[in-house]
Chain A
Amino acid sequence: MSSNISSGAKEIARAVNARECSAREVVEATLARIASVEPQVGAYLSVLEREARDGADALDARIASGERFPLAGVPLAVKDNMALEGTVTTCGSKMLERWVAPYTASAVRSMLAAGAIPVGKANMDEFAMGSSCENSALGVTRNPYDLERVPGGSSGGSAASVAAYEATIGLGSDTGGSIREPAAFCNLVGFKPTYGRISRYGLIAFASSLDQIGPLTRNVEDAALAYDAMAGFDPMDATSVDRAVEPTANALREDLQGVRIGVVKQFDTHKLGNDIDDVYDRALHDLEALGAEIVEVELPTADYGLATYYLIAPAECSSNLARFDGVRYGLRVDGNDVAEMNERSRAAGFGPEVKRRILIGTYALSSGYYDAYYVRAQKARTLVARDFAKAFESCDLIAAPATSSPAFRFKSKSDPYSMYLMDYYTIPMSLAGLPALSVPCGWVTPEGGERAMPLGLQLTAPLFAERALLSAAHAYERATMHASKHPMQIAEVTR
């Protein structure tokens, strides 16, 4: 076999299309890896053994008859908030623990059409609400670089599975940082495209105006390939953008000549501690060495991002999650009448963080508070977007930390607010709908820890400038190769 599961998506697809190895062989190797490390990692809520084998055989037959696929045989982890027909799709919640999706999400469908093979449904914070994956009601996922630490969230299962070589591409969803933060924690590239670039049809909504699907991968090229497969207008999603998509994977650069990179004055990395500050300082030097010009930009309203986000997202979720009432699908706990059945089902089906956000959102939308909270938050959101637009007048990309710390230990963020702070650097981009990614940028050994943990550099581009964004990340990745510098705590994959 000339390709194995440590390869990138491009190499796997090349080998499978060239029939140097079969998709079935790739799937078998992946399933073997899953069987070996999953007891330690716990990335998946369900492993799709039968479906993956059948899918691989069907793909091999099509390739034998002459068809070719850009992601032929590439093992895919699907976050468990995306519908995949015939599979249990739980959202990490007791509410949907046994719900079998009757249809397939458009983004997943695109990946299937490109030849990718879903091997499992990945764990996540319940209904994508969380930054550590600890809010999953259905399982614990561990960070492969330190099993005592969280993988990040909410796309923690997707991140851990790709980091542990249990998949080559992971699909995640990012509402306020849920792709970028776990990518940073698990030494991956995590890419959230412009809002509207990838269809949300079939993505179980948390906050509709912020949710965006994107890939988690071990290198920028794989992220670009996944983006190229999924981006584009979908008539099933009224918020998807009807605008031409330029392919990115074939346009990745090796240098940053002529690229102006903005550093946000308001994002002071000194307060993150010397070790972390050093990593980000070094990242800016590396960008400069590649030919980029570093300029200072201002995002005066960035500090309001967190408060704004924690009104808008809960408001939307309070309405989006109303459908889980025990009537048509999901968990039902009987009561004496419909209202009592609704109440009991929701009380039993939702975990504490989901309930907290439903309550916050219901309050923010209530008559008498709507103007003071929801309307004001929408205004603040507009200001944040304007700040970015202004900043992009003097730069092409913005560089910032992805997170304020590396992956933390389980149960170390016990009050909700300290957990919310994890998304401080990622939320403003979500509010503005901008494309942003996290790329590995160095390592730190957290205080009291023994193992080096990865950090992520967050790059942000103007709306629809995915190509420039991925290109710059690729140049930086090639020049620094931070991702390959420290071992995992689990068995490395055999090459």
Chain B
Amino acid sequence: MNYEAVIGIECHVELKTASKMFCGCANRFGAEPNTLICPVCLGMPGALPVPNAAAIEYMIRAGLAFQAAIPAFSKFDRKNYFYPDMPKNYQISQYDMPLTQGGVVRYWLEDGTIRECRLTRIHLEEDTGKSTHAGSNDGRIAGSSYSLVDFNRAGVPLMECVSEPDLRSAEEAVAFLEMLRRTLMAIGVSDVKMEEGSLRCDANVSIRPVGSDVYGTKTEIKNMNSFRSVRRAIESEIARQRALLDAGERIVQETLGWDEANGTTISMRSKELAHDYRYFPDPDLVPMEISAERVAGVRAKMPPLPIDRFERYTKEYGFNVKQASQLIEAPEIADFFDRSVAISRQPQQTQNFVLGDLSRLANESGTPIHESPVTPEQLGELVALVDAKTINSKIAKELLARMWAGEGSPKAIVEREGLAQTSDPAALARFVDEVLAANAASVEEYRAGKTNVFGFLVGAVMKNSRGKADPAAVNALLRERLGG
């Protein structure tokens, strides 16, 4: 039978606020264990949480980026369960009044097709500490002799983002996640690094016969540590479910762990029996009122969104998906590009410079483009000079190198040093005639049929003009002088 997959994603994203969610401790990855802690994030008796206003603003940004509703009222609830790396044995989270509701992630596939996946909600909570189990060979708790807990991460603001089951393939799921990552990075709310755990995701997967509108039994996959493993895990799970259904067996609703080494999902069912989290409103925190003015204030400061850029780059500018993605990938580069285009009015040529020569200079020097001495406006000027045929591309390359070295405005250099391309016929004729006179032997060879010396003669004229001659005009004039 032909099946289609139905996939929903649930992910946790650590917000990159300066301090933790409910205390003043630094929010930083990679510090010595238990050095970024205080009575509040350790859940010491008597300590109380106070919400981080920046985290709430980040949530509003995220909501706006995905066109979610930002309700006027929101509150924090306690999610009660015992876990040794959770200091209070409850997590401050949000249950029925999250900061954002609904919304949609518009993402693109490799061929440039734009798809949509609706969001159920995004809510704000606090992260737990991190346990390290010692004494077992594989770092798992089973067979370990003791565990160590690092509370540096405890209380870090964590955004939980839940999608509707709108995704239909592993490819779509990964493209959705890529889009989420790109967007959250562009709006400056998270590093979104899977390898540092600032993005963690689970996938809910089921399959159903094509054309059916009834969902099949779903499984939840955890423990996927990269986009690659998300793709592999979902593909493997779809294949497993298909094989079961084809064999006439039933899918069991369960939680699975992705085993990267063996490329399979493993049942984790044992301790995942239905929890009763006993959610109730956190009495230590007062309900939040989010005014329309506050939302408007955040909206006014929103940076350009990757999806908007993608549509502009591909539809208005005619870039291919790879070029567009490459620019968008680094928001600073896309910002640089946009500002350059505003001056040059030449998207394609500007893009060639940004992704070509500028990127090469950046790689060679180790200085990112946006931190180099070349301003976007200067690059825009340079492209405009080329476009107006004021300089040719060779001069442009040289100028760019000098700009990178900090020489400033290309227009100023061109004017100061008289580098403007010349198409004055008399000057051109002088450059050509001087070269012909000095290279009589080559002229003879050309006339004897060795036409490959033509290129050499062109080069000699260009050199004679110090690069200022218009190469097309030089070509034409040389042919004329050589008699065809």
Residues of A within 8 A of B (CB): 81-83, 89, 91, 96, 99, 101-103, 105, 200-205, 207-209, 235-239, 315-316, 318-319, 322-325, 327-329, 338-339, 342, 362, 365-367, 370, 374
- Name A365's contact: one of B49, B50, B280, B285 (CB within 8 Å): B280
Judge whether A201 and B47 touch: CB under 8 Å.
yes
Judge whether B47 and A202 touch: CB under 8 Å.
yes
Judge whether B44 and A103 touch: CB under 8 Å.
yes
- Name B46's contact: one of A105, A239, A324 (CB within 8 Å): A105
Q: Which of B85-93, B163-171, B219-227, B357-365 contacts A (4 or more CB under 8 A)?
A: B85-93
Given contacts A322-B80, A323-B87, A325-B82, contact A96 B45 (CB under 8 A): yes
Question: Which residues of A have CB within 8 Å of B89?
Answer: 322-323, 325
Q: How far is the CB of A246 from chain B (nearest CB, A)?
A: 23
- Name A91's contact: one of B45, B48, B50, B280 (CB within 8 Å): B45
In the complex, A204 Cα to B49 Cα: how many Å?
13
Given contacts A322-B90, A365-B280, A374-B280, contact A204 B46 (CB under 8 A): yes
B31-71 vs A, Cβ < 8 Å mask (1 yes, 0 no) = 00000000100111111111100000000000000000000
- Name B45's contact: one of A204, A318, A327, A339 (CB within 8 Å): A204
Judge whether A323 and B43 touch: CB under 8 Å.
yes
B242-285 vs A, Cβ < 8 Å mask (1 yes, 0 no) = 00000000000000000000000000000000001011100111
Judge whether B48 and A200 touch: CB under 8 Å.
yes
B84 contacts the other chain (CB 8 A): yes
- Name A239's contact: one of B39, B278, B284 (CB within 8 Å): B284
Judge whether A208 and B284 touch: CB under 8 Å.
yes
In the complex, A239 Cα to B51 Cα: how many Å?
11
B330 contacts the other chain (CB 8 A): no
Which residue of chain A has its CB nearest to the CB of B49? A238
Q: How far is the CB of A316 from chain B (nearest CB, A)?
A: 6
In the complex, A333 Cα to B149 Cα: how many Å?
18
In the complex, A235 Cα to B280 Cα: how many Å?
24
Judge whether A319 and B82 touch: CB under 8 Å.
no
Which residue of chain A has its CB nearest to the CB of B88? A323
B78 contacts the other chain (CB 8 A): yes
In the complex, A266 Cα to B87 Cα: how many Å?
45
B286 contacts the other chain (CB 8 A): yes
In the complex, A91 Cα to B46 Cα: how many Å?
11
Which residue of chain A has its CB nearest to the CB of B149? A327
Residues of B within 8 A of A (CB): 39, 42-51, 78, 80, 82, 84, 87-90, 147, 149, 276, 278-280, 283-286
Question: Which residues of B have CB within 8 Å of A319?
Answer: 78, 80, 90, 278, 280
Judge whether A370 and B50 touch: CB under 8 Å.
no
Judge whether B39 and A102 touch: CB under 8 Å.
yes
Given contacts A102-B39, A105-B46, A325-B89, contact A366 B276 (CB under 8 A): yes
Question: Which residues of B have CB within 8 Å of A239?
Answer: 48, 283-286
Which of A205, A323, A366, A367 has the most chain B CB within a 10 Å cutoff? A323
Question: Which residues of B have CB within 8 Å of A201?
Answer: 46-48
The 6 closest A-B pairs by CB, nearest first: A322-B89, A209-B283, A208-B283, A365-B278, A204-B45, A202-B46
Which of B45, B49, B50 has the most chain A CB within a 10 Å cutoff? B45
In the complex, A204 Cα to B44 Cα: how many Å?
9
Question: Which residues of B have CB within 8 Å of A338?
Answer: 84, 147
Label chain A's interface by main secondary structure: loop
- Name B87's contact: one of A202, A235, A328, A339 (CB within 8 Å): A328
Question: Which residues of B have CB within 8 Å of A342?
Answer: 82
Which residue of chain B has its CB nearest to the CB of A327? B84
In the complex, A273 Cα to B147 Cα: how many Å?
61
Question: Which residues of B have CB within 8 Å of A208?
Answer: 283-284
In the complex, A172 Cα to B397 Cα: how many Å?
78
Judge whether A103 and B280 touch: CB under 8 Å.
no
Question: Which residues of A have CB within 8 Å of B49?
Answer: 238
Question: Which residues of B have CB within 8 Å of A324?
Answer: 45
Q: How far is the CB of A207 from chain B (nearest CB, A)?
A: 8
Judge whether B285 and A238 touch: CB under 8 Å.
yes
In the complex, A339 Cα to B45 Cα: how many Å?
21
Cross-chain pairs A/B with CB under 8 angstroms, 28 sampled: A81-B46, A83-B44, A89-B45, A105-B46, A202-B47, A205-B284, A207-B283, A208-B283, A236-B50, A237-B50, A238-B48, A238-B50, A239-B48, A322-B88, A323-B87, A323-B88, A325-B89, A327-B84, A327-B149, A328-B42, A328-B43, A342-B82, A362-B278, A365-B80, A365-B280, A366-B276, A367-B278, A370-B278
Given contacts A238-B286, A362-B278, A367-B276, contact A322 B82 (CB under 8 A): yes
Judge whether B45 and A323 touch: CB under 8 Å.
yes
Question: Which residues of A have CB within 8 Å of B90?
Answer: 319, 322
In the complex, A91 Cα to B44 Cα: how many Å?
13
Which residue of chain A has its CB nearest to the CB of B45? A204
Judge whether B46 and A82 touch: CB under 8 Å.
yes
Question: Which residues of B have CB within 8 Å of A207?
Answer: 283
Q: How far is the CB of B273 from chain A (nearest CB, A)?
A: 13
Question: Which residues of A have CB within 8 Å of B284?
Answer: 205, 208, 238-239
In the complex, A101 Cα to B80 Cα: how many Å?
25
In the complex, A322 Cα to B78 Cα: how many Å?
12
Question: Which residues of B have CB within 8 Å of A91?
Answer: 45
- Name A83's contact: one of B45, B149, B278, B279 (CB within 8 Å): B45
Which of A239, A318, A319 has the most chain B CB within a 10 Å cutoff? A319
Given contacts A239-B286, A319-B80, 8 further A-B contacts (CB under 8 A): A91-B45, A96-B45, A236-B48, A237-B48, A238-B51, A319-B90, A328-B42, A329-B45
Judge whether B280 and A315 touch: CB under 8 Å.
yes
Q: How far is the CB of B114 from chain A (nearest CB, A)?
A: 41
In the complex, A89 Cα to B44 Cα: how many Å?
12
Which residue of chain A has its CB nearest to the CB of B276? A367
Question: Which residues of B have CB within 8 Å of A89?
Answer: 45-46
Which residue of chain A has its CB nearest to the CB of B83? A338
Which residue of chain B has its CB nearest to the CB of A365? B278
Question: Which residues of B have CB within 8 Å of A81?
Answer: 46
In the complex, A85 Cα to B39 Cα: how many Å?
12
In the complex, A208 Cα to B39 Cα: how many Å?
17
In the complex, A101 Cα to B46 Cα: how many Å?
10
In the complex, A324 Cα to B87 Cα: how many Å?
9
Q: How far is the CB of A330 from chain B (nearest CB, A)?
A: 8
In the complex, A339 Cα to B147 Cα: how many Å?
13
In the complex, A198 Cα to B147 Cα: how many Å?
40
Which residue of chain A has its CB nearest to the CB of B44? A102
Question: Which residues of B have CB within 8 Å of A318?
Answer: 80, 278
Q: How far is the CB of B380 from chain A (nearest CB, A)?
A: 47
In the complex, A89 Cα to B47 Cα: how many Å?
13
Question: Which residues of B have CB within 8 Å of A325?
Answer: 82, 84, 89
In the complex, A329 Cα to B80 Cα: how many Å?
19
Which residue of chain A has its CB nearest to the CB of B82? A342
Judge whether A235 and B50 touch: CB under 8 Å.
yes
Question: Which residues of B have CB within 8 Å of A200?
Answer: 46, 48
In the complex, A367 Cα to B276 Cα: how many Å?
6
In the complex, A163 Cα to B49 Cα: how many Å?
35
Which of B78, B88, B280 has the most chain A CB within a 10 Å cutoff? B280
Question: Which residues of A have CB within 8 Å of B285?
Answer: 238-239
Which of A83, A235, A327 has the most chain B CB within a 10 Å cutoff? A327
Question: Which residues of B have CB within 8 Å of A99?
Answer: 45
